[in-house]
Amino acid sequence: MALEICEASVIYPAQSGRAPVEALSKIDLTVEDHDFVVALGASGCGKSTLLNLIAGFLSPSSGKIMLDKTEVSGPGADRSVVFQKHALLPWLNVRDNVAFGLKLRGGGAAAYAVADRFIALLGLKGFEKSPVYALSGGMQQRVGIARALTCDPKILLMDEPLGALDALTRERAQELILDIWKSTGKTVFLITHSVEEALFMGTRLIVMSPRPGRIAHRFDLPFSRRFLDGAPARQVKASSEFIDLREEVLRIIFADEEQAA
């Protein structure tokens, strides 16, 4: 078992005369080794709060987060986060950015050998000495993913990593991430606002309710494995099964939003 979330709730304390805010309520979720779990829901449903709990950036008000039977009590090297805003260090080149985490942990020269592997895997070979600010948004995001993988985490956390990309770059990045997931065997937890992205990339989907965030619906998904088995991405997304499930999930989200309003 990779990750277990047990009855986790988050209540933000009252501020400036406002009442406390219950962001998450009694989340139960198990993420097995090599799962690709995607969390989906309307803005304010607590997706980012849930990711921050797993990352250890935030502590639950009640309940607990367990990773390989050890309670999560803060950030750790067993979890790496890829942010929507890639948080690269602009004064470092691509190779130094990718090796940065390992060097902080005392990796020394060996950090660069590991970094070079993921630079090649992410299609960045030839750009090692390039300043990251000179790269396109899609390439910068690939640098961020390579940096996260270089640290060899047990679980890769992805906080809307493709949200700032144009449509074509985003679709190509989805395919690249799935290829990397297959080749590295990592466990992935991703949050997104895109229903199509969630269905295409995940092996499992959780749909969260409006605040307080709960897991309202769960789906097992076959589509990423079909793509990895050789089916073209556009064919997968054009299948009647994919379209029907997309419409079902959209109906769920719209109904939840109307009920909350």
Q: At what angle do helices 137-150 and 94-104 cross, to 10 degrees?
A: 30
CA distance 38 to 243: 18
CATH topology of domain 3-13+22-78+155-260: Rossmann fold (3.40.50)
> Rounded to whole angstroms, what are the CA distances from 138 to 2, 91, 124, 149, 200?
29, 19, 11, 17, 19
> What per-residue confidence (pLDDT) applies to 260?
66
Token digits of residue 81: 């986060």
> What per-residue confidence (pLDDT) applies to 75?
93
Question: Pairing mode, if any, of strands 70-71 and 21-31?
Answer: unpaired
For residue 150, give the nearest of 175, 194, 117 by alpha carbon.
117
Q: What is the DSSP string of 136-148?
A: -HHHHHHHHHHHH
For residue 187, give the 3-state DSSP assignment. strand
CA distance 187 to 165: 23
pTM: 0.92
Torsion-angle region of 115 (φ positive above 0: left; ψ -120 to 50: alpha; else: beta): alpha
CA distance 74 to 53: 9
For residue 31, give the nearest of 198, 203, 158 by alpha carbon.
203
> What per-residue confidence (pLDDT) applies to 71?
94
The parts of the chain modelled with pLDDT lower than 70 are 1, 86, 260-261
> What per-residue confidence (pLDDT) applies to 164?
79
For residue 227, give the nearest of 237, 218, 214 by alpha carbon.
237
Name the burial class of residue 13, with classes exposed (0-12), middle (13-18) and buried (19+) by CB atoms within 10 angstroms of its CB: exposed
Q: List, by residue range, all CATH 3.40.50.300 domains of the chain.
A: 3-13+22-78+155-260
> What per-residue confidence (pLDDT) applies to 1?
57
Backbone φ and ψ for 208, nearest 5 degrees, come out as -100, 145
> What per-residue confidence (pLDDT) applies to 83?
85
For residue 118, give the 3-state DSSP assignment. helix
Name the burial class of residue 17, with classes exposed (0-12), middle (13-18) and buried (19+) by CB atoms within 10 angstroms of its CB: exposed
Please state, as a whole number, how many other Cβ atoms lie within 10 Å of the Cβ of residue 19: 8
> What per-residue confidence (pLDDT) applies to 102?
85
Q: Which residues, including other chains, have CB under 8 Å from residue 43's CB and lie 6 or more apart? A: 193
Q: Which residues, including other chains, have CB under 8 Å from residue 144's CB and lie 6 or more apart? A: 82, 83, 86, 87, 88, 161
Please state, as a whole number, how many other Cβ atoms lie within 10 Å of the Cβ of residue 198: 24
> What per-residue confidence (pLDDT) applies to 182?
95
> Rounded to whole angstroms, what are the CA distances from 72 to 50, 147, 211?
13, 22, 24
CA distance 12 to 60: 10
